[in-house]
Amino acid sequence: MSDFVEIVDVSPRDGLQSQPVLLDTSVKLELIQRLVDSGVRRMEAVSFVNPKRVPQMADAEQVIQGLPKQDGLTFIGLVLNMRGYERAITTGIDEINCVVVASETFNMRNQGASIDQTMQNVTDICKQAETTNIINGVTVSAAFGCPFEGEIPQGQVINLVERLADIGYKEIALADTIGVASPSDVSRLLTGINRLNLDIKLRCHFHNTRNTAVANTYVAIQEGVRSFDASCGGVGGCPFAPAATGNVATEDLLYMINRMGMRTNINIDKVIETAQWLEGPLQASVPSMLAKAGVFPKSD
Ligand code: ZN
């Protein structure tokens, strides 16, 4: 198996979407440029959602206009419905990421639709996207538990993954949106999905709400996953999930991955510097551990 692990930094979107402070477009672009300078090559930069519901993401079009034009970068925009897809297409963004929530109640709160309606939407979007150059992925949210319904049966998640693969999705992310998964949950779910031998790339999206995200990532790497969402500084949350907190910090994952002898091509010191810088605009300290403790042993 490859020793390369891809980190998709989601701080500009998942990280900022529920911050009490509204950041200027220029500050978001500085965050993105700093991450690019650290070696991050794929990033979730914006979401195309109703600006009345998520005012933090209202400037998606302006952010995309200002994105670095360097080769080899992929920027992702979150899309929840056909209206979001149409906005995304006009901006020329590289990639969109759709969402299906594994829980009926949460799906209704997050996207204002039933799971079946959302599956129809992501089918339509997939068909449309196939006629363009845009890359189209999908996330199964609340794949390990729901703030409203509690436990989510793993069979339900596996069934959604199978249906999404049938529709034509080539990359599917499993999100622990409210940070409840334990390593054994991750191992069981990934084993179940791997058994299907689907022609897909799996990505994991862990939140560190209950301090299990780094351990969950370790287990997912053992199960063959080589792509992870993480956010600089560990900032984040979900505006529609009570008590949701940050994504696992990019630098916390980098530390473990580096110590495992695997590669990411991302400079951990630069990510830590960016996390510390981000505390200024957010007017708050960031939850990551490495931003406080620093790397070991110290880099030269
Ligand atoms: Zn998230």
* CA 110 to centroid of ligand 1, rounded, Å: 12
* CA 299 to centroid of ligand 1, rounded, Å: 30
* CA 177 to centroid of ligand 1, rounded, Å: 5
Q: What is the DSSP string of 29-44?
A: HHHHHHHHHHT--EEE
Annotated catalytic residue within 126, 204, 232, 238 = 238
Copy the structure tokens of residue 71.
């080769």
Copy the structure tokens of residue 281.
């605009």
Q: What is the pLDDT of residues 71-92, one digit of tens each?
A: 999 999 999 999 999 999 999 9
* CA 57 to centroid of ligand 1, rounded, Å: 15
What is the reported pLDDT for 218? 98
| Rounded CA separation 135/151 (Å) | 32
Q: What is the pLDDT of residues 108-135, one digit of tens each?
A: 998 899 999 999 999 999 999 999 999 9
* CA 66 to centroid of ligand 1, rounded, Å: 24
As a whole number, mean pLDDT of residues 49-66 equals: 94
pTM of the model: 0.97
238 is catalytic: yes
In the chain, what are the domain boundaries?
Answer: 6-291
What is the reported pLDDT for 273? 98
Class of 6-291 per CATH?
Answer: alpha beta
Q: Which residues, 6 or more positions from 262, have their beta carbon under 8 angstroms from its beta carbon?
A: 3, 4, 5, 221
